[in-house]
Structure 1
Amino acid sequence: MIEYLNANSGALTVIFTGVVTISTVVYAVLTAQLVNETRKMRQAQTEPKLEIALKSSEHWISLLRLHIKNIGLGPAYDIAFKVYGEPDTDGAQEIIKDVTKANLFVSGLKYIGPSREIITGYTQMTTMYQEKIEAVICFEVTYKDSIQKEFKEKFRIDLSEFKGLTQIGTPPMYGIMKSIEKLQKSVDNIATGWKKVQVDVYSQKDRDKERREWEKEEEEDAQPADSADAPPLVH
C-alpha cells in the first residue's frame, strides 16, 4: 500500500488539490449567498412599505374609506401622492374629490411610522353608484427610508371589484359599540338624576306582615274540626 502511494503520489496530490479547490469554491458560493440573504433580511427589517386601499366601513357597507398604512418594519419619510382616474371619468373624479380632501394630498406627509394607518376620507356609493362602480382610481406614491433611499409605487384600485358585495347582520364590533353607548347613556341619566332607579324594597314592616299571616294560617290549621263537619261514626 505504501509502495502504491509512493508510486502515485503525484496523481494523488493533484486529486487532493482538486477536491480542496472545489470545496473552497462551494464554501465561497454558500458564504456569498448567506451574506446576500442577511442583507435582504436587514433591508426588510428597516425598509418601509406603504399600502393604499379603499375599504368598506364597518358601520355601513356603502361607505368606502381610503386607508393609507405603512405595513413595513421601517418608517417612511417625505411621502408624496399623485391621484388620477384611469380613465378620468365623472365617477372617478367624484371619488377622488371625496377621498382626497385632506391637505396631505397637497402638502404630502413628513413621516409615517411602522404599522401606522391613516384614514383620510370616504365616498358614499349610493350617490352616482353606476358611475362610481365602473371607475378605476390610481395612486402613485413616492417616499424615502431612514437612509434616504427612494421608493415609488403605484396602486390601481378597480371599483368594479365591489360589485355584488353584501353584508349580513351587524358587525360584532359595531354592535358592541352601540351597546356600550346605550349603557353609558343609562348610567349618565341615573347619575344626573334625569331618571330614577326603580327599586323594590323589602322592609321590616313587610317581613312582620308576612310573619303574622303565616302564624294565622298555622293557628287555623291547628284548630279541631266542628262536629257538624265531622264524619259520621260507624257502629
Structure 2
Amino acid sequence: MIEILEWLSDNGQTVVVLGSLISAISTLAIAVLTVFLWWENRALRKAGSEPNIVSHFEIHSGGSGAVDISLSNVGKGPAIDVSFTILADPDNFRKYDIKISHDKDRPAITLIPQSEKFTFHFAIGYHLVYPKGRDAKEGIDPLNPFTINVKWKNALGKCYSKNYLMDIMQFDDLPGIFEKPPLLKIVDSLDNIGQEIGGLRKQANDLRELVDTTVIRDCALQKTMGNPVNKS
C-alpha cells in the first residue's frame, strides 16, 4: 500500500493526464451513443408517419371472376398526389381483353389515406390467360409480367417512387381464378338460346309467306302468298 502511494506521489502528473484522457474518451463515447440513439429515434418516427403505396392484384369479391389492381397505403401517413404508370409490352397487352389502357396519361389521385386503398378493374381472370379468339382447348397463354411505377408525396411534399412487378401467374393452380365465372357461363347459354330462337323465328317467317288454300274439290295442293313478312 505504501509503495502504491509513493508511486502515485512520484507520478501525480501522469495520473492526472490519464484520468483526463479516460474522462474525455468516456464523454466522447456518451456523445456518440446519444447521436446514434437520436438518429434511430428519428428514423423510427419517420417510418411511423410516412405513407407507403404498394401495387398488387386483388380478386373481386363479387364472384364475377374479375381481377382488380389496388394501390394500398400500408404506411402510417396520408399519401398525396398518387399516380401510377403501367410499363408493359403494348403488343402483348393488345392480345388480351384488358379493361384499362396501359399507355394513357392520367391525373394524380389526390389522396389515399392511411390504411386505405384505391382499386380499379383490370380484367376478367380467364381473359388474362386466354388471348382474344383463343380456344380453351388450345391451352393457356398468359399475359406477360409487367411493371407498375407508383409515385406519391407525403404531407410535407417529399416525393417517393417505387416499381412493382405484376405477374398474373401468381394465381396459377388456384381454383376458380382462370375459369369462366358461373354468371358468364349463364350469359353465354342465354346468348346461344337467343341465337337458336332467332333461327326458328326466321324459319317460321318463311313458312308464313305461303298459305295453304287447298279445298276438298281441288285435285292439287294450292298455295297462296300470305301477308308480307318483315325480315329485318
Q: What is the match of residue 213 of structure 1? A: none
Query: Cα 1:92–1:47, aligned 2, differ >3 Å: closer, same or farther?
Result: farther
> Is this contact kept in 1: 2:128–2:143, CA < 8 A?
no
SS of 1:65's partner is strand
Residue type at the aligned position of 1:55? E
1:147 corresponds to 2:156 = yes
Structure 2: which 5+ residue stretches go unaligned?
132-140, 177-232
Looking at structure 1, the residues matched to 100 and 57 of structure 2 have their Cα atoms a distance apart, in angstroms, of 9
For 1:124 and 1:150, the matched residues in 2 are separated by 34
Is structure 2 residue 21 aligned with structure 1 residue 25? no
Asked whether the 8 Å contact 1:100–1:120 carries over to 2, the reply is no
Aligned to 2:8: 5
- Three-state SS of the structure 1 residue aligned to 2:48 is helix
2:52 is the counterpart of 1:49: yes
CA gap of 1:92–1:33, structure 2 versus 1, over 3 A, is farther
Q: For 1:120-139, list aligned pairs within 5 A.
A: 120-127=120-127, 129-131=129-131, 133-139=142-148
- Where structure 1 has 5 or more consecutive residues not aligned to the other structure, the ranges are 168-235
Contact 1:48 1:114 in 2 (8 A): yes
> What one-letter code is carried by the residue in structure 1 that aligns with 2:11?
N
CA distance 1:114–1:128, shift in 2 (3 Å): closer
| Residue correspondence of structure 1 range 105-116 to structure 2 within 5 A | 106-116=106-116
Task: Verify the 8 A CA contact 1:75 1:111 in the aligned structure 2.
Answer: yes
Q: How does 1:206-217 map to 2 (within 5 A)?
A: none
With over 3 angstroms needed to count, the CA separation of the structure-2 counterparts of 1:8 and 1:93, relative to structure 1, is: farther
Letter matched to residue 124 of structure 1: I
In structure 2, the CA distance between the partners of 1:5 and 1:67, relative to structure 1 (3 Å rule), is same
Residue number in structure 1 paired with 2:170: 161
Q: Among the aligned pairs, what percent are the same residue?
A: 20
Distance in 1 of aligned mates of 2:6 and 2:163: 74
Deviation by residue 1:17-73 (Cα, 9 ceiling, x = unmatched): 221121112111111111111111121122110011012234549432111110000
Q: Which has the higher helix share?
A: 1
1:88 counterpart (87, 90, 111) = 90
Larger Rg: 1
1:88 maps to amino acid: P
- Residues of 2 paired with 1:30 and 1:79: CA distance? 38
Inter-partner Cα distance in structure 1 for 2:129 and 2:9: 92
